[in-house]
Structure 1
């Protein structure tokens, strides 16, 4: 018989905007449980620059954190909300994936319909009826209640940057709107435009102002801001059109991630490659090398760990191993590395998941431990999905 397992959402790091969801605005240097959503079956979590969201198996969406711009999907009653609440406007659809940008959010349901809400001053929430101010300029108001965006597209994945939005359609094309970087001379920024030269795309990842797209054939493309080499093109020139990322030939890539100004790619044999901004050690190349990298380099300090996911935050990163351990590295203030020391380091260190056993097993004498299934790094905080794994009983 399948063992019943218990899962939890955990959080650590800065709590000043309520983004930890623990009922206060304190920071945490160790992991803690987000109690308010313990009764929900959460399937994924997303950490933004100052807020957080969780998607449940039944398609419910919960948000918490900073809400000055309607980023939580309902009108702001207070600037910050430190307890998760359900996004009522999306209660009748089944949300399967979501993203948080600078101060806007995107979500997609099981039928491929996309939704946007939050800050909209760059048109990042998408098409809208044309309103003009007294001087005849288009007026863009924040969207505090989620509404459909990109209505003509059937969407598979949404991704959000600082001031722009990117979606991957079911046919494998990439579309974008909002204020890209470099800004260029785009007039209609709130209308989705197809990114030329990309097809058969499997995955997209978006940083503050740069974009990555992984094709089915394993080629990785990048475009946008390149100030720190985060496009992996060997230089620091921004690109308005996709360009292949260098230094990855011969590797089979299975996942990609983009942080504020850095990027990572993961190979099928669990190896991590990092590039872009190296300050604070967020690339994981050790304490003697916190320089930026203009082409991907293998993260030797994670070699042999069999990494299955990497998440990149504003100034830190977390790598997840196949057996459910998490390694964090980068900037350490606010406790964002999760192991009780606010030291900034380029040395990946394990995040201990020291939580009591779930109530369903406590007292039964069953030994076990918590393992992580998914990690999400935000601006100054991290979320993870953990589940209880019973230790194999000795015969």
Structure 2
């Protein structure tokens, strides 16, 4: 049966707490405070990491869905998890990147359910995964990209896919602090609070105003100039950024209410998202404001964590 109201999720391991999670096209990942990774949800492409049982005649059975969280990547001590359309990527505490599932559009290459290490990446500090492309930021500030590149979402100046990580040269002279990957677009944030975007531009998801064309190299989102951005998130066809003073800006495709402004308008111009909530019952004053601390984009929706500040 469908679960229509939030409920607390339990994990097989006692004495641990989930500290990070990721939602993909049909599956979910989480990692606890002991570095153990979990997966659940759709598993048709092996994205939950479970090897299907063999039938009596020796053939492989169909991969089954995983209804409750189960351990995956058992031999790895994980720091961050990221989920794509039909594949999974994890960053270990040693700074290595591992992946499994179907990392390309279904039918392109063989799917795997056993984690394999992504060669050529060392000392990685952060990962981001789109539908079928991947980003990794190393501790020395180099951004790497690989996977599907149909709209230039790898940011390397062409639309040829890459099976191995390639350096994103257009950001080489910048100090990056955050990266994000959406359906077919990508974004990066500098320590100066500037946002760069590239990939598919349809619906204005790159934030370049009336320019809705695709871009194969990173370009600065000039319409956010003057805003001190501290986080960026990319959805299926939209993007959201968070400022240092707790405000949210969104842009891209507007149907399904994903931009949060109540109008369902599609736009390439970043718009501030109003947080129209009543004061919390614990507040001693009706004067105050809600400030966002974190934002996250899904395929067709957006989430934010907010806190109330009394004036």
Runs of 5+ in structure 1 lacking a partner?
Answer: 1-76
CA RMSD, 1 decimal: 1.7
Q: Report what 2:308 is aligned to.
A: 388
Q: Which protein has greater RCO, CA pairs closer than 8 Å, 6+ apart?
A: 1
Report deviation, 1:250.
1.2
Q: Report what 1:204 is aligned to.
A: 127
Matched, 1:177 2:100: yes
Report deviation, 1:298.
0.2
Within 1, Cα distance between the matches of 2:264 and 2:298? 17
- For 1:83, what is the secondary structure of its paired residue? coil
Runs of 5+ in structure 2 lacking a partner?
Answer: none
Matched, 1:274 2:197: yes
Q: Report what 1:283 is aligned to.
A: 206
Q: Report what 2:161 is aligned to.
A: 238
8 Å CA contact 2:285–2:310 kept in 1: the answer is no
Change (3 A) 1:319 1:197: same
TM normalised by structure 2 equals 0.95
Which of 91, 94, 103 is 2:17 aligned to?
94
Matched, 1:247 2:157: no
Within 2, Cα distance between the matches of 1:212 and 1:147? 26
Greater Cα offset, 298-307 or 126-135: 126-135
- For 1:280, what is the secondary structure of its paired residue? helix
8 Å CA contact 1:132–1:139 kept in 2: the answer is no
Within 2, Cα distance between the matches of 1:135 and 1:317? 47
Report deviation, 1:145.
1.9
Matched, 1:109 2:29: no
Aligned runs of 1:301-316 on 2, under 5 Å?
Answer: 301-316=223-238
Within 2, Cα distance between the matches of 1:310 and 1:101? 17
8 Å CA contact 1:155–1:168 kept in 2: the answer is yes
Within 1, Cα distance between the matches of 2:8 and 2:286? 34
Within 1, Cα distance between the matches of 2:52 and 2:24? 22
TM normalised by structure 1 equals 0.75
Q: Report what 2:289 is aligned to.
A: 369
Report deviation, 1:246.
2.7
Change (3 A) 1:140 1:166: same
Within 1, Cα distance between the matches of 2:260 and 2:109? 43
8 Å CA contact 2:84–2:130 kept in 1: the answer is yes
